[in-house]
Every structure is written in C-alpha cells, then in structure tokens.
Amino acid sequence: MDLIPLPHRTERAEGFFELGDGFGIEAGPGTEGTARWLRATLGAATGLALPSKKGDEYDVLHLSVRPGLEAEEYRLVVAPHGVHVQGGSPAGVFWGAQTMLQLLGPDAFRRAPLPGRTWRLPLTEILDAPRFRWRGVMLDVARHFMPKDGVLRYLDLLAAHKLNVFHFHLTDDQGWRVEIRKYPRLTEVGSWRARTKFGHRASPLWEEKPHGGYYTQDDIREIVAYAAERHITVVPEIDVPGHSQAAIAAYPELGNTDVVDTTALSVWDTWGINPNVLAPTDNTLRFYEGVFEEVLELFPSEFIHVGGDECPKDQWRQSPTAQERIRELGLKDEDELQAWFIGHFDSWLTARGRRLIGWDEILEGGLAKGAAVSSWRGYAGGVAAARAGHDVVMCPEQQVYLDHRQDAGADEPVPIGFVRTLEDVYRFEPVPAELTPDEARHVLGTQANLWTEVMEDRARVDYQAFPRLAAFAEVAWSGLPAPAERDFAGFERRLAAHYGRLDALGVAYRPPTGPRPWQRRPGVPGRPIDGPPPNR
C-alpha cells in the first residue's frame, strides 16, 4: 500500500470500498476539526460533498475518539460498507485520516477533481502510533523570508508526513520577521537588508536588491491556528544573545556600545557567525522581556526557543560593562555570563508556565534548571543534557541538516556541508546508544533543520527538504529496527509511489536521478565538506 511513514501493523483483505456520491462523514465528539479538514481537502480533490451522516447508515466515514488508545495512536478500518478512523485523541484521528488520504492515491492530494476519476480504498485494518512525541522541522525564515502562504503550505506538507512540531526561526542577524508592537523598529528597520550574498559567504556574488518581509501579529495568529487544526505545535525562536544584529540595527542601545559604534550597524547582508551580540545589561533584559511578553500572547506552545548558539564572546571580553557584570555576579568567565543571560529567561518563562529550549551551546557555563536542549553539534550535547536530567530534541547537523548537499555530483546546486543522501537520513538514529533507558526517556524526539542561507525561495526549500524529509518522517514516526537493519530498498519502493503525492502537492523535490536543469545553480559557490560526517 506504499504508505509513508510506515505503519506499525497492517492487515490487508481482498476487495475495495468505493466512495460514491452519497459518501458522508459521521464526526464523533472531538473529531469535528478532522471532519472540517476532510471536507476542505478531500472534498476539493474528489468533488464529493461529504455530508454529515449518522452511524446506522451505509457509505459512511466514522470518526471517533476512543479510550484505550494512546493520544496519537489510531486505528483505521476499511470495511465493505464503511470506514472507521478511531484515535486516542483528536490528533490520533487526524493522523488516521492522513493515512486514509494516502490509501486513496496521489490524486487525493490535488485541489480539484480530475475527470473520470473513481475513488476507492483497499479493505484493510491499520493500527499505528508514533515513536516520538516531538517530530519536528525547523524552518529558517530570517535568512530568506518565506511569505505567509508558503508557511501555510509547509504546514500542510508537515501534516501529510505526520510531523507535529514546526520550529519557526523568526529572528537572526539577517532579519527580524515578527511584529512586536512595543518595538516597531524591529520590523520597520530590522526586517529589511539592502542586499544579499548569493551562495556561500565566501562567494563573490551579490543580489543587489533589498530583501525582507515580516509577519504581522494577525499573520502569526493565523499560522498558529492553521497549524493547530493540523495538530502541529508552532515553537517560535527569538535568538539571544548572539545572532542579533538585525535587532541591534533597529535599537543600537541593545549592542555593546562601549566596544563598537552600534549606530553604524545595519541588518547583516552576508552569512556566518556575527561578532555583534547583545549587551548583558538590564536594559537588554527588559527589552527582551517586552518582546517575549508579546511572543507568549501569540504562541501557546509549551516551549519557547531562545537560540543561544554561536555567540562570540570577544565584545564581552573587551566591554567594561560586561566585565563589570561578571564581577558583580561573581561569575568565572564569559561562558558563565551567557549561562546567566539564558538562565534569566529560563526563570522568566518558567514563572509564566512555559519552558525554555535552546541550542546546545546553552550547556556551556552551566545549564538553566528547567531548560531543554536542541542538540545540533552532533550527539554529544544531547547525551550530556540527558545524563544531567534535561529533555533533549536530537537534531545533529551531520545527520539531519537538510541544507547539506544530497549528492557529491557537480550538478548539485550550491553544495553545502557533508553529503547526506536519502539513505543516510533513513538510517539516522535519534537516540544515542550510550544512553541508559532512564536517560533515553529524556529524548523528546527529533527534528530536521532547514537553514535558508542558500535557499532563496520555496522551490529551493522544496529541493533541499524532499524527498529526504519523507525519510526523516519515517524515522521520527515508525518503530524502525537498528539503522543497519532498516529496509531501505523497501522504503525506496514505497517512495516511488510517494513521488506521485508530492507531484500532486506541487513539491519541487530532488528527483532520484539528480537535479533537473532548472534546479541547478552553475557558478554559484558553496562550501562542500568531503568525507563521511563524524557520528558523535
């Protein structure tokens, strides 16, 4: 049946159930959202009205929440006279409906019916549940802005692959993308840069035109609501204390004014690690508390991501203000100063019923008590955090940074980093073998990251993400065997059918034979790294 991600258990019977003009939906309590989604998506693809029906009628899709199933677990039964989707929660019902859509064939993912199409489901019973509760994708909209309709489309693509966390990277040196009403210059100034580096940061090429954009607070509310209807949690990232030049360009007093002339800074137009970081002052803390107050109003997520990565300490070493703060707090060094900075917002968020999560650099200088860690510099940060009793999301760059190149061929566009093939991603294991069972319970799940320095539009994001994101989704959802024992050939066979779904969804994926002519970027330099990536 070519399902992706692979279900836990499938039993197939002879025959099919055909969806006729009278096919309707019985939506039990808690499943109304899935019924509404099916009428909008399946109704558009098939042309069927999908009216409300009662359970004693034939030709009905029965949606129900059932006790005894885990929250995201579902049971899908296609019988001769009707279809049942049962879930342990509304989310489980929704994932079961996504599987039903796959069973109907690729055309079920189109936005209008094709003439002469008949719709039928194989008689089957599927019992399925996810391995991890955090099945995430990070999308960087700071380096290259993705307009709102593109974000909504990506949420649909995540939902189609049963991914349930959207990590929304909203701020960086190259742009501030969320409206903060208390500080309007963050978007008036910080959301636009004068030009953009084309290719890797060492490239001599420039796109000599302004680039930018931002989401209004109503845009954010719409994105969050759209995600919630698809049982996706949006986790915002507001980066501190590094990756902050866009904010400093808008409000120069946030920077280390006793070291550099921050009034001369503009939104950064190139890539890499930026030396201009936030000053560790009370004024900076109060400013970002104001930012986070509005962020909490917009995002109901349990976790708020504060970045914390790639914060050079050179300006703090040179700053009398920063050095005085180190002495005043009795800290050992600048690493502990960053830990103090992150710890402040850990306490601030905890007091408001939220949890802080940051990149694994927040381990340096001591980890805030309630913080969770996104382990990106390999596995080591996640291992250290889990052993110390902190929750972890595993997203090692050498394995699941999807901006890394997919092949070593010369036609690969703007080659970045290590070669990470489809098979490499399929054999990724999120839980490090050295963790004990008790330590492994701190691994909330896993996440693939899409950094957009060299992805200037959604077609480039599509190319880098797919089909590898389909492999990642199976790793995150399905209870696969050990990496060396995984049936990659079987996955490739199922993927051959899945390409039809991606085609129907308009995804500009990388074909298995290599990039199409219009997907190449001849003459745009990247930064390929040869050899196998370190697995640690």
What DSSP state is assigned to residue 100? H
Phi, psi of 356 (to 5 degrees): -85, 140
Q: Residue for token digits 């069972």?
A: 437
Both structure tokens of 109: 């993912």
What does the longest C-alpha to C-alpha distance in the chain come to? 77
- For residue 357, the cross-strand partners are 305, 372
Distance of CA 142 to the CA centre of its chain: 14
Given 243, 305, 404, 498, the catalytic residue? 243
Examine the residue annotation and report whether 310 is marked as an active-site residue of this protein: yes
Torsion on CA atoms 95, 96, 100, 103, rounded to nearest 10: 80
Structure tokens, 118: 């008949």
Nearest CA to 490 out of 478, 502, 508 is that of: 478
Place of tokens 């880098």: 464
**H or E stretch covering 194:** none
Beta-carbon-side half-sphere exposure of residue 20 (alpha carbons within 13 Å): 8
Q: Other C-beta atoms within 10 Å of 324: how many?
A: 11
Rounded-to-integer distance, Cα 281 and Cα 134, Å: 34
Alpha carbons 425 and 443: distance in angstroms, whole number? 18
Exposed / middle / buried, residue 52 (Cβ in 10 Å: 0-12, 13-18, 19+): exposed
Is 172 part of the annotated catalytic residue set? yes
If you compute the radius of gyration of the chain from its CA atoms, what whole number of angstroms results? Answer: 24
For 208-213, the CB contacts below 8 A with 24+ separation are 211/144, 211/145, 211/175, 212/145, 212/175, 212/267, 213/145, 213/147, 213/177
Catalytic residue of the set 72, 172, 239, 403 = 172
- How far, in whole angstroms, is CA 393 from its chain's centroid? 12
344 is catalytic: no
DSSP string covering 150-181 = HHHHHHHHHHHTT--EEEEE-EETTEE-B--T
Among candidate residues 2, 258, 269, 310, the one labeled active-site is 310
Residue with the two structure tokens 């959604």:
458
Which is it for the CA torsion 336, 339, 345, 346, positive or negative? negative
Contacts for 55-62: CB closer than 8 Å, 24+ residues apart: 55/26, 57/24, 58/82, 59/19, 59/20, 59/22, 59/23, 59/24, 60/23, 60/24, 60/25, 60/26, 61/23, 61/24, 61/25, 61/26, 61/85, 61/100, 62/26, 62/28
How far apart CA 166 and CA 155 sit, in angstroms, is: 8
Count of residues in the chain: 536
| Residues with catalytic roles | 172, 243, 310
